[in-house]
Amino acid sequence: MKKLTFGLMGFAALSLAVATLFTSCKKDEVKELASISAKINGESFSATAVAKQDNNNAKLADLLAGNGDKITSIYGANTNGQVLSIVLNGNTEATYDLSLSVSLNPTQLLINYLTTGDIEDTAKDAIKAEAKTMMVYKKSEGIQDANSKDFYVATKANVVINKITSVGTIKYYKGTFTATLENANGEKLEVTDGKFSCPGK
Q: Torsion angle, CA of 144/86/155/131, rounded to 10 degrees?
A: -130
Q: Which of 13-22, 55-64, 94-103, 149-158 bottoms out in mean pLDDT, i.e. has the lowest?
A: 13-22
The model's pTM is 0.79
* For range 151-171, the mean pLDDT: 91
Predicted confidence at residue 64, as pLDDT, reads 78
Report percent pLDDT > 70 for the chain. Answer: 76
**DSSP assignment of 81-129, as one string?**
S-EEEEEEE-SSSEEEEEE---SS-HHHHHHHHHHH----HHHHHHHHH
pLDDT digits (tens, 9 = 90+) for 72-95: 889 898 988 899 999 998 889 999
Q: In this structure, are residues 114 and 137 in contact, taking their beta carbons and an 8 Å threshold?
A: no
Predicted confidence at residue 6, as pLDDT, reads 42
All structural domains of the chain with their residue ranges: 7-23+34-199
Indicate if the pLDDT at residue 172 is higher than 70. Answer: yes
Predicted confidence at residue 201, as pLDDT, reads 67
How many Cα atoms occupy the beta-carbon half-sphere of 183 within 13 Å? 15
